[in-house]
Every structure is written in structure tokens, then in C-alpha cells.
């Protein structure tokens, strides 16, 4: 079994992010992660408009001894007019999303998620992308999640965001115990390093790092030049290609260095991987097990 105790399987890939994934391939992908020893899973209502939770739940219902996180902040509604590809998810059910960071919304979100999952509990609830709703979230969602944690309904609470400043506000103004930061601690973007990681370390907050391939460019800068869900700018492409050339000198794939980058920092509790199919999971595990020389890390640090 691989050393994957610090690896979480994210739920966007097998829910159709960027391209549709059918049920058989999705289940094979989740099963491949399980067979590789991964026992931590993250999902969200947003991923595939509930498809991620439904697919993951079908897999986990017959299993035990795993940890599971989902998110609050978006409620789902049946919508016959929903367009395929909304929010870059393909093959999703016809549902619309509505932001809701109220206490009532948090309770309903968890109830709906448990119904889609077919489970009676999740371990961790994360507030999903509260960037434009911070005051409401701090006034309503956070107290409700804190009550849930105190009552033992969930074991942990936190935020899942892409913005370092948003994460820092919640770290400093609440008693959350987890932060999931996406795309801000990678080979290309280390904005979380200066303040967020030290602040979380001082407060004993577990940091989960997601988006370590920056939505594709660190996997393949030639054919997947997407950075933060948008076409990458020329300077980003050039920096990535320079990193790829450095990796090639050591016969190490760029994606291996990208996937392993956060694991080197003791302030990081876990890395969330986005593999969505059996092939992608197998490749990710191989990259996580690829030896990366210390000299290569030093050279990549100079490109940061």
C-alpha cells in the first residue's frame, strides 16, 4: 500500500469538471483511490450540482473507516432549464445553485448533502467560497457550524477558499479548525506561504491544500495551459515551461513535483488530489511515489 495518509481524493474530477465522466468511470476512479490506500474524501454540493456527493455516497455506503468532508454555502434546486457545462461541470443533473450562508441554509445544506450521500454523518464541514458573503457567513454560518461541532454533529469545521485574505479573516476572527486553500500554495503560486500557513500553525489549524496543479497548467503546460480556471497568461506559461525544463534535467515529470510540493511543508496536513478516473488516479499515485532530488527542489524554488 502506498504512503497516502496525507492524501485526500477531491470530488470535482469524477463529477465532470471540464469534461463529462460517466458513472462507470467515476466509480472505477474512486475505487482505484481506495485500493491505493486513500481513506479521506472531499466533496461539495457545487461539484457537478450534487453529482459528486451522489457518486461518492454510492461507493462509501458499503465501506467504513474513512473520513469525509463536504461543504456548505450553495443550495441546490431542480431546474429543467439548467445548461450543461454550467460552472465548468459537464454531465451534471439539471439543478441550479443558490448561495446561502445563513444558519438555516447551513442546516438545510447538510441535510441535503446527507440525503445525496445516503449517509448519516460527515466528519468535516467547510464553508465554500464565502468571499462575497463574508459578513453574513461570520454572523450566521460560523456560529451554526460551531454549534454543530460542539454538539458532536461534525468533528471539524472550516473554510474552503481560493483567496488567502479571505482565509486569514476566518482564521483570525473565528474558532475554525480547518482551512482548505486552493491554488495558493503551489509551485507557481505561493501566496499562502507568507501569512496564512504560519498563522494556521500558531493556532493549531489543519491546512488542506487543493488545486496543486493550478487547474491544469502544472500537469501539462503545452496542452493544458489553464491557470485558475482561465487561459493562462504568457508569463505564467513561460514560468511553467521553465520549471518543466528544470524537471526534465532530473528526469522528473513536472506534475510529480507539483503534486509533491505541499507535502514538504510541515504546516500542511494534507494534499487534495483532483484525479477523476482510474487512469488519472493511477498516474497521480505514480507521481506521488516518484523520487524528487533535493537539488531539483532548490532549482524550482529559485523559479518561484
Question: What CATH number is associated with residue 172?
Answer: 3.20.20.100
Which residue among the candidates 47, 77, 90, 101 is catalytic per the annotation? 47
In a domain, 28, yes or no: yes
Is residue 242 in a domain?
A: no
Separation of alpha carbons 34 and 67, rounded Å: 12
Q: Would 215 be classed as within a structural domain?
A: yes
Tell me the CA end-to-end span of the chain in Å, nearest whole number: 33
Confirm whether 143 is domain-assigned.
yes
Please classify residue 204 by burial: count the beta carbons closer than 10 Å to its beta carbon, then call 0-12 exposed, 13-18 middle and 19+ buried: exposed
For residue 245, tell me if it sits in a domain.
Answer: no
Please tell me what DSSP assigns to residue 129.
-
- The string over 43-70, giving b where at least 16 C-beta atoms fall within 10 Å of a residue's C-beta and e elsewhere, is bbbbbbbbbbbbbbbebbeeeeeeebbb
CA atoms within 13 A on the CB side of 241: 11
Q: What is the pLDDT along the chain (304 residues), one digit of tens a residue?
A: 468 999 999 999 999 999 999 999 999 999 999 999 999 999 999 999 999 999 999 999 999 999 999 999 999 999 999 999 999 999 999 999 999 999 999 999 999 999 999 999 999 999 999 999 999 999 999 999 999 999 999 999 999 999 999 999 999 999 999 999 999 999 999 999 999 999 999 999 999 999 999 988 999 887 777 888 888 889 999 999 999 999 999 999 999 999 999 999 999 999 999 999 999 999 999 999 999 999 999 999 988 7
pLDDT for 11 equals 98
- 14 belongs to the catalytic site: no
Which of 227, 259, 271, 218 has the alpha carbon at shortest distance from 9? 271
Q: Has residue 189 been placed in a domain?
A: yes
**Domain count across the chain:** 1
Q: What is the pLDDT of residue 304?
A: 77
pLDDT at residue 273, as a whole number: 98
Q: Is 229 helix (H, G, I), strand (E, B) or coil?
A: coil
- Angstrom CA distances, 236 to 29, 129, 151, stand at 30, 24, 46
Residue length of the chain: 304
Q: Does any domain span residue 303?
A: no
Name the one residue in this structure whose C-alpha cell is 501566496.
191
pLDDT given at position 225: 79
Work out whether strand 156-161 and strand 7-10 pair parallel, antiparallel, or are unpaired.
unpaired
Residue 1, domain member (yes or no): no
Q: What residues pair up with 277 in beta bridges, in sequence order?
A: none
**pTM across the whole model:** 0.96
Domain that includes residue 87, residue range = 7-236+253-291
Amino acid at each position: 500500500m502506498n504512503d497516502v495518509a496525507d492524501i485526500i481524493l477531491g470530488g470535482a474530477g469524477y463529477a465532470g469538471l471540464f469534461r463529462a465522466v460517466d458513472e462507470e468511470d467515476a466509480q472505477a476512479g474512486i475505487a482505484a483511490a481506495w485500493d491505493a490506500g486513500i481513506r479521506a474524501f472531499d466533496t461539495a454540493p457545487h461539484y457537478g450540482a450534487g453529482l459528486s456527493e451522489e457518486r461518492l455516497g454510492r461507493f462509501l455506503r458499503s465501506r467504513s473507516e474513512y473520513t469525509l468532508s463536504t461543504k456548505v454555502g450553495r443550495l441546490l434546486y431542480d431546474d429543467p432549464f439548467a445548461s450543461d457545462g454550467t460552472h465548468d461541470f459537464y454531465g451534471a443533473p439539471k439543478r441550479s445553485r443558490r448561495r446561502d450562508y445563513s444558519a438555516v441554509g447551513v442546516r438545510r445544506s447538510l441535510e441535503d448533502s446527507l440525503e445525496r450521500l445516503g449517509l448519516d454523518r460527515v466528519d468535516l464541514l467547510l464553508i465554500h467560497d464565502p468571499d462575497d458573503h463574508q459578513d453574513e457567513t461570520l454572523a450566521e454560518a460560523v456560529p451554526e457550524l460551531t454549534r454543530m461541532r460542539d454538539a458532536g454533529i461534525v468533528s471539524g469545521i472550516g473554510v474552503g477558499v481560493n483567496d488567502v485574505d479571505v482565509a486569514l479573516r476566518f482564521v483570525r476572527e473565528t474558532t475554525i479548525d480547518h482551512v482548505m486553500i486552493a491554488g495558493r500554495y503551489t509551485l507557481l503560486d505561493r501566496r499562502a506561504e507568507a501569512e496564512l500557513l504560519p498563522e494556521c500553525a500558531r493556532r493549531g489549524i489543519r491546512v488542506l491544500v487543493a488545486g496543486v496543479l493550478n487547474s491544469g497548467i502544472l500537469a501539462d503546460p503545452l496542452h493544458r495551459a489553464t491557470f485558475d480556471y482561465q487561459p493562462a497568461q504568457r508569463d505564467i506559461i513561460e514560468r511553467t515551461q521553465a520549471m518543466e525544463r528544470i524537471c526534465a534535467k532530473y528526469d522528473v515529470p513536472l506534475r510529480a513535483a507539483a503534486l509533491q510540493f505541499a507535502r514538504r511543508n510541515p504546516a500542511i496536513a494534507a494534499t487534495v488530489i483532483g484525479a477523476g478516473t482510474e487512469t488519472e488516479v493511477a498516474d497521480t499515485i505514480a507521481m506521488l511515489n516518484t523520487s524528487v532530488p533535493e537539488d531539483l527542489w532548490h532549482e524550482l524554488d529559485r523559479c518561484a
